[in-house]
Structure 1
Amino acid sequence: MEKIQMTTPLVEMDGDEMTRVLWAMIKEKLILPFVELRTEYYDLGLLHRNETRDQVTIDAANATKRLGVAVKCATITPNKQRMEEYPQLTEMWKSPNGTIRAILDGTAFRAPILLPCIHPVVKNWKAPITIARHAYGDMYKAVDFLTQEPGTATLTFQADSGAQQSLTVQHVDGGAVWQGMHNTTNSIRAFARSCFQYAIDTRQDLWFSTKDTISKVYDGTFKSIFEEEYETRYRAEFEKLGLQYFYTLIDDAVARVIRSRGGFIWALKNYDGDVMSDMVATAFGSLAMMTSVLVSPDGTMEFEASHGTVTRHYYRYLKGEKTSTNPIATIFAWSGAFKRRGELDQLPALVRFGEAMEQASLETLESGVMTGDLVSLVDEGFEATAVSSEEFLDAIAARLVEKLA
């Protein structure tokens, strides 16, 4: 079989633990036999980030801006426990995803992959709910500290012009914890435009929710920018396509989402999107069945799995045990990157290959061959067999050969 040729490289960001193992398996079994793979490779494994003082993450993000398409493996964001597990670390490095999102100024769109044999926990959900997560600022770029004595905290903005604004945060009588976070109006506007454009491209209604009744200035700014962008740039196209833009408070939105049938985009601030995307993924079936694509205003895209590095399975793997780790979200990250690269470079064969990867994966699952996390979720009466990760990828590869023959 003649290999599919690529003209422009993808940015390839390798990761950590079990997902790094799956990354290599996917390349070996599903990609390299069929594609003359061209990538700019960046090792975002935790120890290499430590060796480069996280410069490799910045380099990978800038390469993505230059080449337009990236695919990323899951990575570790170290906490206190991870610092103990990895004593070589010289610093508690920040989230690589947060760094990349800040540089690309993108919006993360996450959507569940549906299977006929797995019905959502929320029985009235009939279509996917796509989470649009603002991928800049808020507590992911916040500063915080702990104090132990009485005193007063103030928040001060010192303008370059020399002007100054200041307000009192709180006076406390004893120990307290403090946090200061920010966003920029340019990033909020880019977030809004990405959401409206993605809704138009995918022909879905757009919901947006914050808590502007409590956070009147911070969340209120998000609300007003979304309204301004809709009225001045997108209302006509939305009405032409029969689409709806809907704003409500986030607590009301949660109730509406649970009662809905799905089939819309739910735009959320950074932290809200982080939490709700996991809730939606789990309610539809599994975090391992959630696609994620970071979309910049200029069309740059970074594809990744939305789950973590599957640490528990990795330690079993290190002991020589076989694991049944679900690789679907990582496969769909690669397939999404191939389809986008093929679209940009006008390579229909590469687009078809990405589509074939997805079809072969879904058909394998629908045949009842799947990883252990899904077997317990299938509908009563559906016959499913749990296999190891390697056996599962072999089954997908066999179907992929048939589709590409």
Structure 2
Amino acid sequence: MSKIQMKTPLVEMDGDEMTRILWQQIKEELLEPYIDLKTEYYDLGLRHREETGDQVTVDAAEATKKYGVAVKCATITPNAQRVEEYNLSQMWKSPNGTIRAILDGTVFRAPIMVEGINPVVKNWAKPITIARHAFGDVYKATEMRLTGPGKAELVFTAADGTEQRQTIQDFKGRGVVQGQFNLDQSITSFAHSCFQYALDVKQDLWFSTKDTISKQYDHTFKDIFHDIFEAEYKEKFEQAGITYFYTLIDDAVARVIRSKGGFIWACKNYDGDVMSDMVSTAFGSLAMMTSVLVSPEGYYEYEAAHGTVTQHYYRHLRGEQVSTNPMATIFAWTGALAKRGELDNLPELTDFAHRLEKAAIDTIESGVMTGDLVGLWEGKAPAQKVTGLEFMRAIAAKL
């Protein structure tokens, strides 16, 4: 069989631990037999990030700007324990955060739904897509641990030398303080990405913050979204038959739980991080969640929404058989390949990506699945637990 030829390479960002092993297996079992795979490879494994002073992460993001489409494996964001385990020179920042800041995009995360695995929230009949702002907030915050009494202040020195100053707290003892920021430009890009994506998929868009408490920070998000929608998107939404509305995040949570799904829920950075995990778990599994970073300039970066599956990796190193779900990582590859085919006018590449997704879903619906899904299974066929590699080979047989 002749392989599908690619015109433009994907930016390939390799990762860490168990997902790094799955990454190679997906290429060998499901992609390379059918595609003459062209990628520009960047090793974002933690050891190589240490060796390059994290320059490799910046280079991968810049390559995404050059080629337009990237696919990324899950990576470690080191904590103190990881610094010791990997003998790191410092606690390197999240590669995802670095890439998102450079691309200035919005992360859209949606569950992969299969018949036989029903959401915990029984009335959710359609996927809920989380649109997560990909810049600022706690991920770019400056923090200080305070060792005793004193006054913490928020100070802004303008370019002309004038100052704005507010007292944060008069500390009577030990404490902690954190300074967050965001940019009108980034919030504007976030709004445009959300409105454009809603029009592309023809789904209602919800946006939520806590502007009643955060009367400057969160209220700025609300105002920018409102002004852009009224000026540029209101008529387009009406023509498409979809709606946009804003509400407080606590009200949004209540509405989401009561809804039937089938909409986009836009959240600030941290809110989106937490809510996407909640939504994916309620739909079945963190390993059944797609994730794509979309920038207003038209750059796309596809990745799994979960981490590096550390405990499975340690068991794998001990020689044990592990049943790690590769679905989200497979869908990262298929999303990137489909977009590459769309941009390069290669319908056969896009068609292959869609067929691979269908084969993966059909494999689960036939009863063959990894261990994380067995306890959730309510399908007609008996559940057959397999390893991640066995699952991929079952998909290949379906394909």
> What's the TM-score once normalised by structure 1's chain length?
0.97
After superposition, where does 1:133-282 map in structure 2 within 5 Å? 133-282=132-281
The SS at the match of 2:140 is strand
Q: Deviations over 1:144-184 (max 9, x none)?
A: 01111111111111222323222111111111100001000
Distance 1:281 1:188 in 2: 25
Q: 2:78 matched to which residue of 1?
A: 78
* Alpha-carbon offset, residue 380 of structure 1: 6.5
| SS in structure 2 at match of 1:379 | coil
Matches of 1:315 and 1:238, distance apart in 2: 49
C-alpha contact (below 8 Å) 2:116/2:380 kept by paired residues: no
Per the TM alignment, residue 84 of structure 1 is displaced from its structure 2 partner at its CA by 2.6
CA apart distance, 1:381: 5.1
Cα-to-partner distance string for 1:89-133 (whole Å, 9 max, x where unaligned): 111000000000000000000000001101100011110000000
Cα displacement string for residues 51-83 of structure 1 (whole angstroms, at most 9, x for unaligned residues) = 001000000000001110000000000001212
The DSSP-based 3-state class of the residue aligned with 1:13 is strand
User: Helix, strand or coil: the match of 1:182?
Assistant: coil
Return the TM-score normalized by structure 2: 0.99
Q: What percentage of aligned pairs have identical amino acids?
A: 67
Unaligned 5+ runs, structure 2: none
> Take 2:145 and 2:124, find their aligned partners in 1: how far apart are those partners?
43
What CA distance in whole angstroms lies between the structure 2 residues aligned with 1:269 and 1:397? 39
Which has the larger displacement, 218-227 or 153-162?
Answer: 153-162
Residue matched to 1:14: 14
Q: Distance between the aligned counterparts of 1:342 and 1:6, measured in 2?
A: 8
Q: Which segments of 5 or more consecutive residues in structure 1 lack a partner in the other structure? A: 401-405
Alignment correspondent of 1:321? 320
> In the comparison of the two structures, how many residue pairs are matched?
399
Q: Where does 1:11-160 land on structure 2 (aligned, <5 Å)?
A: 11-86=11-86, 88-160=87-159
Query: Where does structure 1 differ by over 4 angstroms across 4 or more consecutive aligned residues?
Result: none
Farther-moved stretch of structure 1 (234-243 vs 375-384): 375-384
AA matched with 2:83:
M
Q: Secondary structure at the match of 1:139?
A: helix
Aligned equivalents of 1:6, 1:367: Cα separation in 2:
32
CA contact (8 A) 2:17 2:308 kept: yes
Using the TM superposition, give the Cα deviation of residue 382 of structure 1 relative to its aligned residue in structure 2, in angstroms: 4.3
2:58 alignment partner AA: I
Task: Verify the 8 A CA contact 2:115 2:379 in the aligned structure 1.
Answer: no
Partner of 1:379: 378
Q: CA RMSD in A?
A: 0.8
- For the residues of structure 1 that align with 2:150 and 2:239, how far apart are their CA atoms? 57
Displacement of 1:335 in angstroms is: 0.3
1:398 positional shift: 1.4
State the alpha-carbon separation in 1 of the partners of residues 198 and 11 from structure 2.
26
In structure 1, what residue type is equivalent to 2:214? S
Structure 1 residue 353, shift from structure 2 partner = 1.1
